[in-house]
Structure 1
């Protein structure tokens, strides 16, 4: 029974890597998705839960960046208050700064990629990769709250792969992508408020930590995060605009 389940699960994951039909949508759906994304990210009540997803992507960004420099990822901590930490070990300030930088921009980067995938027929692949990555995250979680969060996200991603109808994959991928783009802005604004109004929390700021390690002011890193997030938004808007131009031909 378990073997059959695993085989069926892998079949559905594998099927996602087949290119499907590019998403065709209109202004009304785009506007509705944006409104839903804002509802998830702006009110404190909904952000309390959706922010956990953004934080998980944030910490995965740190982990992946650390691995690209040869650092050893020792674990990831996620907490219900949306804080988190990625613990890695390696030599060199440059590698530590690189790993530290790719936290806040990564939800926006993933969001832009998902928007692109939706409009190019690769929604299934994007969701399959996401499901595998969220499942693999369980290997690195080192605290109980993190296990609860990671298991919830992993289960949700597997259910999407298993039950989402093929004709809705593009719409789902687009919605998740836009939500992450909006969530990245919300997360950055939270960080900015730490540096302007809640300075007693500076010790937990990525920008502050990188500044201490490199001697480069935190303002530089805050601006760097913002520039990457803006570039991701520009890329996503360009994707949507390009599709709109093609549909008008």
Structure 2
């Protein structure tokens, strides 16, 4: 891309846009809540949450010095991130813990940007995140999903009006914040049915801290992220 094009893209991505009225932000939050709670829509909403979950594993793996070897996204909305390195130690613990914390952390960080009027910047950051995942995806379904997501997010970021871009950015961030606790609650339900092998189970083997305690910690952290994110997006509630 020519230098002028890069400069134009940078100016667009860093431009400050008006923050929507609180009523609009609340309405978008209610729409996101419906999408997360309704069984008919949760299956579709869960896939982007899984993308962020796996991105969390991948970023943490790179930060602690592990070698990222692949990301897989499956049609049942599950995912897998594989990295090589020491099988034990703080780095492995951090990498495993990052997945269930990532949606709330990304949602909270994006909420801070939205509150500062950087809604278009949030959309472009998501484009960059998805594009980086594309470099490491290792299965056909994951490749297709990420290509569609990058294309859709790029089109929204480039062609839509600022108001529509802002609304979509708010809706995505609301979904991440509201959806973050739900996969943890699904872990509790799966555990009652005898399911094992999850991230908390692996953490329990590494740290001798019971898996249920890890699940409680993840749930509390996600609920805290939701609370702080809500107050960030709707400061009138404070």
The normalised TM-score by structure 1 is: 0.86
How much does 1:81 deviate? 0.4
* Structure 1: segments with no counterpart, 5+ residues: none
How much does 1:172 deviate? 2.2
Distance in structure 1 (CA, Å) of the matches to 2:233 and 2:129: 26
Equivalent position SS for 1:190: helix
Whether 2:37 is the aligned partner of 1:37: answer no
Distance in structure 2 (CA, Å) of the matches to 1:130 and 1:173: 10
Whether 2:71 is the aligned partner of 1:73: answer no
Select the residue among 103, 108, 114 that pairs with 1:112: 108
Distance in structure 2 (CA, Å) of the matches to 1:15 and 1:169: 16
Q: Which runs of 4+ in 1 moved over 6 A?
A: none
**Paired residue for 1:132?**
128
How much does 1:44 deviate? 2.5
Distance in structure 2 (CA, Å) of the matches to 1:245 and 1:228: 20
**Paired residue for 1:21?**
17
How much does 1:22 deviate? 4.2
Offset from partner CA, 1:93-150 (integer Å, 9 cap, x none):
2211100001112111111222221120222222111111111211100111111221
Distance in structure 2 (CA, Å) of the matches to 1:152 and 1:109: 24
Asked if the contact 1:208–1:218 (Cα under 8 Å) also holds between the matched residues in 2, the reply is: yes
Distance in structure 1 (CA, Å) of the matches to 2:54 and 2:200: 14
Distance in structure 2 (CA, Å) of the matches to 1:225 and 1:109: 12
Alignment of 1:49-198 (within 5 A): 49-91=44-86, 92-196=88-192, 198=193
CA gap of 1:43–1:12, structure 2 versus 1, over 3 A, is farther
User: How many residues are aligned here?
Assistant: 237
CA gap of 1:14–1:117, structure 2 versus 1, over 3 A, is same
Please provide the CA RMSD for this pair. Answer: 2.2
Distance in structure 2 (CA, Å) of the matches to 1:12 and 1:25: 28
Distance in structure 2 (CA, Å) of the matches to 1:110 and 1:16: 21
Select the residue among 196, 199, 203 that pairs with 1:206: 199
Select the residue among 230, 238, 244 that pairs with 2:231: 238
Offset from partner CA, 1:140-181 (integer Å, 9 cap, x none):
001111112211211121112111222333322221111111
Distance in structure 1 (CA, Å) of the matches to 2:180 and 2:208: 26
Distance in structure 2 (CA, Å) of the matches to 1:89 and 1:40: 36
**Paired residue for 1:215?**
208
Question: Higher mean Cα deviation, 17-26 or 180-189?
Answer: 17-26
Select the residue among 217, 220, 227 that pairs with 2:220: 227
Distance in structure 2 (CA, Å) of the matches to 1:152 and 1:185: 26
* Structure 2: segments with no counterpart, 5+ residues: none
Equivalent position SS for 1:104: helix
